[in-house]
Structure 1
Amino acid sequence: MTQTYPDIAVFDLDYTIWPTYADTNISPPISYDEKNKHLVDTYGYTVGLFPDVIRIFEDLQKHDVTIVTASRTWAPEIAADMVAKFGLNKYIKGSEWGERSKKGHIKDLLKKLGYKNGDGLKIVLFDDEGRNKEVRTMGVDFVYLDSSHGVTWKDYQDYLNGKVK
């Protein structure tokens, strides 16, 4: 089966790449526990990435796909700290965060990446909130995820193999 890679893969953060809300559940300062591969906040709350995130990011990077994030977080500084401490900055080429629609996030990400619009680009959004399927009106593929396990290798492979749009 031939896999079709997007030009740009957009990932939500909360309950898509990690199992928590950055803006309500995390209390800075945050440290990274190298041994256990998770973050620890000031109260000892721990959070790790969903298991397949790094594998997916590495595969996308190997296939020259631009990886970006879009999140409705009220605490972008905490999200940025989490992304950095998880070492995700080496994969992510841009982020748009704030309390607005994913359509707005994606439009602004395209501008930041130097595109006038998304015409001709194959773009996908991986997200755990069904309301964000509105991005389909922009020609963006939408992969709806189960928030209990975030993005999985199976979700990703199903998308690449044309089983999800």
Structure 2
Amino acid sequence: MPRKLTFPTSSSSLSLASSSGGTPITPTFSTTPSSLSFSTLPSSTNSPFPRLDLPASLSDPSLPFPRLIVFDLDYTLWPFWVDTHVTPPLKINPTHTGATDRTGEEFAFYDEVPEILAVLPYLNSPNKIKLGVASRTSAPSLARELLKGIHIPPTASFADEDGNNNNNHITSKKSSSSATKKKVAIDVFDGGLEIYPGSKIKHFEALQKRTGIRFEDMLFFDDEARNRETERLGLTMKLVMDGVTWEEVGKGVELWRSRRHGG
């Protein structure tokens, strides 16, 4: 049965699954924009972002990583169906963390997604991981508008106190303007955006042609089991039930490694 988006009458932030392995909790969408909160818990000493509490599978850049990580949008990066729950026009909020539609409802990413999109590309430094989108929504222009309006935090926010990570893969805040500025969410997906109705086989064939990356080097996060059909191309799909979190990303990377590298 399709899940329904519910808006509680009282303001509360989105519930999160613990990135350190807690039991996932079904997110509920708030009537007020959720604030970004970044963990300061210690991670592995091998992590390129020591101030983040990353899952163990993501903390060692010497381990293999996918070259392209692709995300679905609805109920994967954000907790709603953009083509049925959002009533245009959209008004981006002043903090660029979400938007309000014509009915006054507010829409944003799942809480951990901005942090994930900011940091994930650099976990395999110096080999940047490309990010992409594969969505079958029937409202592609509305989805793109929301992606253009939301900003994600600068990667330098997650470096150590000197503005550098342990492995010197991120330059200082003073010398790297790109690392210290917020980015428009749509610009993070340098692997490409395939947003239109139809089988996601077509989406991935387009992503492969654009990037030249082998399907075997791709990891895909989606909330619908029917999209496992994409695995016949050779990629790995991780099914997520309550949105993308660090815990889910870690499990996805572990799954990809087990299939591609036997570990």
Q: What's the TM-score bracket when you normalise by the shorter of the two chains?
A: 0.7 to 0.9
Output the CA distance in 2 between the equivalents of 1:162 and 1:9.
13
Classify the secondary structure of the residue corresponding to 1:23: coil
Q: Counterpart in 1 of 2:204? A: 106
Report the Cα offset of residue 103 of structure 1.
Answer: 1.3
Aligned residues: 160
Residues 96 and 149, structure 2, Cα contact 8 Å, conserved in 1: no
Residues 19 and 150, structure 1, Cα contact 8 Å, conserved in 2: yes
Residues 130 and 144, structure 1, Cα contact 8 Å, conserved in 2: yes
1:15-164 map, 5 Å: 15-35=75-95, 37-62=97-122, 63=124, 64-86=128-150, 87-93=184-190, 94-113=192-211, 115=212, 118=214, 121-146=216-241, 149-162=242-255
Of 51-60 and 96-105, more deviation after overlay is shown by 51-60
Give the structure with higher Rg (CA). 2
**Cα deviation code 1:79-107 (max 9, x no counterpart):** 11011111312311211111111111010
Identify the structure with the greater helix proportion.
Answer: 1
RMSD of aligned residue pairs (Cα, Å): 2.0
Residues 4 and 161, structure 1, Cα contact 8 Å, conserved in 2: no
Identify the structure with the greater strand proportion.
Answer: 1
Amino acid at match of 1:85: G
Output the CA distance in 2 between the equivalents of 1:162 and 1:24.
32
Of 30-39 and 8-17, more deviation after overlay is shown by 30-39
Higher RCO (Cα < 8 Å, 6 or more apart): 1
Identity of aligned residues (%): 28
Gap regions ≥5 residues in structure 2: 1-56, 151-183
In the alignment, which of 67, 71, 80 is matched to residue 7 of structure 1? 67
TM (norm. structure 1) is: 0.87
Report the Cα offset of residue 26 of structure 1.
Answer: 1.1
